[in-house]
Amino acid sequence: MSAGSERPTGAGLAADLVVRRESFDVCARLEVPPGGRLALLGPNGAGKSTILGALAGAVPLAEGRIAVTGGGEQARERVLDAPGRRSVPTHRRGITLLEQRPLLFPHLDLVANVAFGPRARGMGRRQARALALDWLERVGLADRAAQRPHRLSGGQQQRVALARAFAAGPSVILLDEPFAALDAESTPRVRGLLTRELARTGTTALLVTHQLSDAWDLADRCVVLESGTIRERTAPEQIATTPRSRFGARLAGFGVIEGMCAPGADGAARPVLRVGDALLPGVPDPDAPPRRGESALGIAAPEDVDLLPLDDHRGRAGVVGQVIGVQASAGRVRIEAENGLIAQVSPEAAARATGGGLPVVGSRLRLAPSSLRLVQDRRQDEAAR
């Protein structure tokens, strides 16, 4: 087998971990099949990078077990962490962590940077150099092989970091927002490169990102993490169309308003979302329906939310909200309120609601969703318990 003809190296990953943090514990159960790609989504500080650090062996577990199975030459389960066992050191796990910054060795040229991983695994100098040159060719930087990292742009350095990560032949690659430090021109090229090499090598991957587009391009499954707890397990296309968590809905561009699941008017069978004194009609999500009398989220597409003047009731259900964001694009106006609802209407409809020009930040308007999907608000329920 030639230096550049890798066979698939992906291994299945099974992790059930608990990491203690000052504000909350990070608890996650993850299973990724060989060659699978899982996206970890969630707000800043939710614990996503903590999970990657634990998988890489850089963050100690308070409880739990981490193992890799199958893939490449690993036919049996290999336990990395478990109760009563010594944790396998980071450099012996076969797991590579690629962070936001390339973190290349400044004193080594590019070929030596990429060859570092294979050399650490015991590969001979000549073979490791050939493999490194092959990878630099793949990322379009073979002509810069003898240069030091400081001679490259940020996007070029990240491409070298990707080459170095793959050249090490990891069973699992961990990607901590790998595009966050790139400019708009570099991002599509690096994303395309990563997508292509993950598919070609069959490497199992976990991706931390704040962008639904990254999960759409790179992942086949998604986990949404909030305050150290998994709130949603789903596919990228389901987050885009029917999210069931607060962060997932916001990530996909939906409005989310908190309330209480209550009986409809005159005891109607279909529940409503009570927000203050307002009763907003909705349809319970079939897979995560809220129970009456408990906290719930109302999720609405911006085009399903109308704007009304403050004094315009006319039998329409709505809630008053203060405007915290206004965007105008392609003949539509997108208004975000502090209560979580988002309306996307024509400029004429926006002007009618204000009685004049477009809404501005600080305006108060009535937002009337015509369709809400009601889901459990697990975060509020857990806080109450």
Q: What is the pTM of this model?
A: 0.85
Euclidean distance between CA atoms 330 and 376, whole angstroms: 35
Query: For residue 231, what is the enclosing H or E element?
Result: strand 229-234
**In whole angstroms, how far apart are CA 82 and each of 10, 59, 60?**
21, 14, 11
The per-residue pLDDT for range 38-97, each reduced to its tens digit, is 999 999 999 999 999 999 999 999 999 999 987 554 457 899 999 988 999 998 898 999
3-class secondary structure, 379: helix
**DSSP single-letter state for residue 84:** T
The gap between the terminal CA atoms of the chain, to the nearest Å, is 58
Residue 226 is predicted with a pLDDT of 93
The per-residue pLDDT for range 260-289, each reduced to its tens digit, is 998 866 555 678 899 988 889 899 999 889
Residue with tokens 């949603």: 232
| Alpha-carbon Rg for the chain in angstroms | 25
Q: Which residues contact 225 (CB under 8 A, 6 or more apart)?
A: 28, 40, 41, 42, 46, 47, 48, 51, 231
The per-residue pLDDT for range 197-231, each reduced to its tens digit, is 898 888 999 999 988 888 988 999 999 999 999 99
If DSSP states are collapsed to H, E and C, what string results for 188-230? HHHHHHHHHHHHHHCCEEEEECCCHHHHHHHCCEEEEEECCEE
b/e map of 144-183 (b: 16 or more CB within 10 Å)?
bbeebbeebeebbbbbbbbbbbbbbbbbbbbbbbbbbbbe
Per-residue pLDDT band for 380 (boundaries 50, 70, 90) equals low
Least confident of 315-319, 341-345, 374-378: 315-319
What domains are defined for the chain?
Answer: 12-240 (3.40.50.300), 253-384 (2.40.50.140)
Which residues are 206's β-sheet partners? 38, 174
